[in-house]
Chains A and B, each alone.
Chain A
Amino acid sequence: MSTVMNNVVTARGLRKAYKNKLALDSTEFNIPVGRIVGLIGPNGAGKTTALKAILGLIPFDGDLKVLGKDPRTQRDELMNDVCFIADVAVLPRWIKVKEAIEFVAGVHPRFDAAKCQRFLAGTQLTPNLRVREMSKGMIVQLHLALVMAIDAKFLVLDEPTLGLDILYRKQFYQRLLEDYFDEEKTILVTTHQVEEIEHILTDVMFIRDGKIVLNAPMDDVGARYTEVLVNADQIEAARALKPLDERALPFGKTVMLFDSTLSDGADAARLAQFGETRSPGLADLFVATMKGTYA
């Protein structure tokens, strides 16, 4: 009962086939309330298709509920509570800052124009500036200000910082955390810049060939996976525990990645005997999990 209430998204057996490719293949996942979930996968893994299904932009098969509604049939009501930024360049080029604010204020019941003005106060965006006159970073600032001024329950971000420089990227996520996120909101984000968002995520989902291959809270990921800097003389012993992945470093050391649920006896104490241990970065975990994707 409560699981239904606490899930922003429940997906069961999603299926979406494009001409010659399955983009979603009996995809299943839940997104609980109050989380920041990263949906991470290689190109063509079905990330954008999954997001488009959640947003009711494409037809698909299977059972999907977003905030208790079916995005295929109840999209119009759903969009009162869901917001999305689909990469950077989707604001119409002719629109002026003040027109964008006036329009969103007029059509969105949860938009707070004063809040939006406050977000724009620290930027170079002036009311009469048109989108076509802005840099990519400024467009994102405007889009983010518009979206953050909407008190939506669920925010979907699809590669929101693609093509931005590091200053804008950092600022983007910083703002999102400081001025927007709270325990009643839920954010789903896809990006290739894994390192930059891993510290803000509460949950992570890996998607590969239309299937969710990993779906776990970040804390669990830390407990489950261990990276060991194996000394040269221990390599064979460590290999016996079937690491997920290994890569050689200079000076004879080897980094191995262990999944404690897969390798028997790969507990922290045992692994520590091989060498220095640490929690793997999301990027390393991703690379190990997605091995052979493009082969």
Chain B
Amino acid sequence: MQLSTKHLLGIRALTREDIELILTTAEQFKDVLQRPVKKVPSLRDVTIVNLFYENSTRTRISFELAEKRLSADTINFTAGGSSVSKGETLLDTVNNILSMKVDMVVMRHSASGAPYFLARHIPAAIINAGDGINEHPTQGLLDALSIKNALGTLEGVRVAIIGDIMHSRVAMSNIYLLKKMGAEVMVAGPPTLIPPYIQEAFGVKVEYKVREALEWCDVANVLRIQLERQNQPLFSSLREYNLSYGITRKLVDSLHKDIVIMHPGPINRGVELDSEVADSRHSLILQQVENGVAVRMAVLYLLAGKD
């Protein structure tokens, strides 16, 4: 049994069987991470470069940890202090690194489609760690694993994704994955942050009132308000966003049932999510981080064997 793709460029290319295989393998790696020796020698002969053209702490550390736990050799590349600032093209940078016999590339880039471009031109296996506003497949997978662990299944689960849907690659990967696995998806937020026609295009429900979204859902995946992505303000102020769309303790307590809260991080405490909720028993946020390493180990392990 193996994955149907050579790369992990997005959830869109994965079949349901692929997703189940990754999640099952990730469960086994979770076990490994509980042991006294948290390493396995599986990727001992593999070298992986973490090519991050965009800022990231948690994703990069998570990938690096996953690689090291698989006994792979890792190289970290951040665009800032490199030849990119001297004007080197993406292809040149990657070919230079590959000629040093690097086997796999984990890439984050601000241009949507950058990993697809790379996959067409180089022989190594590519893992998309986030490309523009397109996809962030490992985040989608770890979110799915977290929901599965908390609720037992993904089939028929109601997931509301709340926040800046328009600019969110996390939202897109989650939508593709949840729909493939039989969950019901709703996107909620201010109308200025929800792409028009998303309902028709992806079969998701749309809701502009956060209370209705929380009453409907079993799981609320709260997205960060991405200040660095917006050139024009699409809502009046952070304070107003919190008043209308913030997940507050009062709101969560007033619901008719218990729901589960998720957030890809980093949290703008007091904006989209209040501290009391983020640190409460409803929150899966720390499990998401734990699952992230296991899911990335599973993806790297399953892609390493492909020629």
Genuine A/B complex: no
User: Which residues of B approach A to under 8 Å, CB–CB?
Assistant: none
